[in-house]
Amino acid sequence: MSEYLPFINDPAHLARLTGHRYVVLRPNDEVSATHATGQCSVRAKYSDLAISYPARAHVTLKGFPAGTQLEAVQALVHTWAAGVPSLRIEVERIIVFPFPFQVVIVQVRKTAPLFHAFASLRALAKQQELPDWPEGTIPSVDDWVFHMSVAYCSALSAADWAAVTSFSESLTVPSVDCVVREAEVVAFDEGREYSGGVFPLSGHRGPLI
């Protein structure tokens, strides 16, 4: 079995995620390298600021709050993944989620297959009555922006955040893409991240757009 490569390795961030579960897509080396290049630029420019950085690129499709049983998420994703084809991740640009989130992101193109997979996962989770975030705390299905987080900046002052925003949005990224053939369940407990399973996206593989 290959070694698990975590997405988050900042101890303070890990502590805040205790009990959470997420369904994510792990991009290939080319897309991950593009993400890492943008992240390195921000890190080098603002090494003196209180910014947290994810360890690896990932596209989150669904998160579940503390108290959600891992087994329930695993069963959900097992059912969902069986009807979802491989998904393409296409890099668009670097933008930010503004206050109160204050996150630098690589935006991912909202293709029809990716949106359908995302919407169907949310719908199935609701149908199965899994725990969810309080209403209004996350964007609606239609308003969701697919992304790979680059830098978490919620601890920054308004002035520092304005500077990071201006710099980050001046960065350019190449138009790279990849096809992901499996989804991962990621779990956080007692200050550590671990794999909750890898689930092949085994639905009908029609043309990827």
CATH number of 19-200: 3.90.1140.10
Enumerate the domain spans of the chain.
19-200
Contact 6, 193 (CB under 8 A): yes
Long-range CB pairs of 32-37 (<8 Å, 24+ gap) are 32/56, 32/57, 34/91, 34/106, 34/173, 34/174, 34/176, 35/91, 35/106, 35/148, 35/150, 37/173
Confidence (pLDDT) at 208: 38
Average pLDDT, the chain: 95
Give the Cα separation of 134 and 31 in Å (integer): 32
pLDDT band at 1 (very low <50, low <70, confident <90, very high): low
- Give the chain's end-to-end CA distance (angstroms, integer): 33
48-101 confidence digits (pLDDT tens): 999 999 999 999 999 999 999 999 999 999 999 999 999 999 999 999 999 999
168-201 confidence digits (pLDDT tens): 999 999 999 999 999 999 999 999 999 999 999 9
